[in-house]
Chain A
Amino acid sequence: KAGVTQTPRYLIKTRGQQVTLSCSPISGHRSVSWYQQTPGQGLQFLFEYFSETQRNKGNFPGRFSGRQFSNSRSEMNVSTLELGDSALYLCASSSRTDEKLFFGSGTQLSVL
């Protein structure tokens, strides 16, 4: 069974630009959640989608948004990038029938 796939692996952007990250969950998993990981703040929850609906949202500004498609693939968008948005962005999928998260390898975003 293929794992969670995130693309791209690395991104370099400049302040003010926007970026879209993609996540393909494990086959059969309908829940996709997104996290920001930084050395200073650790792992922080962004949002979770289930069956194309945002079910849970973390404490991030509206510049961070996402969506989920009918095949459960998900995208995350960050608009008007700031230097502080530099981080490893992780997505995780789950079946929601157990309490296990399966993470992708992440997208390392650098904002210059």
Chain B
Amino acid sequence: LAKTTQPISMDSYEGQEVNITCSHNNIATNDYITWYQQFPSQGPRFIIQGYKTKVTNEVASLFIPADRKSSTLSLPRVSLSDTAVYYCLVGAMNTGFQKLVFGTGTRLLVSP
């Protein structure tokens, strides 16, 4: 199983770009990398997903180097409402849900 490592917490200010890195040295060939955002008393919410290189959507970018042993979630110009816990998830449902590995989460605090 891929083991994932994320920073426990990060601090930022409104308007700044935030980059959160997840290490996953044992990632398997078929594994995807997915990032979720979770607010207190809510379930995780899908942010972005990638397999390799760079993916961008309307809220974030995901950078994955060629060796795929890490990934970086980039949040441009964060606001107070981006204060949440961010999880990386490594795995592929089609190879078995029991192989899905959630990171321990990074608590992002955005200040005015």
Chain A interfacial positions (CB closer than 8 Å to B): 4, 6, 31, 33, 42-45, 47-48, 55-59, 90, 92, 94, 96, 99-106, 108
- B45 pairs with A103, CB closer than 8 A: yes
Which of B's residues lie within 8 Å of A, judged by CB?
A: 32, 34, 36, 41-46, 49, 87, 89, 92-94, 96-98, 100, 102-105
Known contacts A42-B104, A42-B105; A103/B98 CB under 8 A: no
- Choose from A48, A90, A103 the contact partner of B97 (Cβ within 8 Å): A48
Contacts of B41 in A (CB 8 A): 105-106, 108
Whether A90 and B93, one on each chain, are in contact in the complex, defined by CB atoms closer than 8 angstroms, is no
Given A42-B102, A42-B105, A100 and B96 touching (CB < 8 A)? no
Taking CB atoms, residues of chain A closer than 8 Å to B96 are 56
Q: Give the Cβ gap from A104 to chain B, nearest Cβ, in Å.
A: 5
Min distance, Cβ A95 to any Cβ of chain B, angstroms: 10
Distance from B49 Cβ to chain A, minimum over Cβ atoms (Å): 6
Contact status A99-B92, CB under 8 Å: yes
Using Cβ atoms and an 8 Å threshold, which residues of chain B touch A47?
97
Q: With the chains together, A43 CA to B36 CA distance in Å?
A: 12
Q: How far is the CB of B57 from chain A (nearest CB, A)?
A: 12
The answer on a CB contact under 8 Å between A105 and B42 is yes
- In the complex, which residues of chain B have a beta carbon less than 8 angstroms from the beta carbon of A4? 43
Q: Are B34 and A99 in contact (CB under 8 A)?
A: yes
A102 touches B46 (CB 8 A): yes
Could you list some 27 contacts between A and B, CB below 8 A? A42-B102, A42-B103, A42-B104, A43-B87, A43-B102, A45-B97, A45-B100, A47-B97, A48-B93, A48-B97, A55-B97, A56-B96, A56-B97, A57-B98, A59-B98, A96-B93, A99-B49, A99-B92, A100-B34, A100-B46, A101-B34, A101-B89, A101-B93, A103-B44, A103-B45, A105-B43, A106-B43
Within the assembled complex, what's the spacing in Å between the Cα atoms of A104 and B43?
5
Q: How far is the CA of A45 from the CA of B87 in the complex (A)?
A: 14
Q: B residues within 8 A CB of A33?
A: 97
Closest to A31 in B: B93
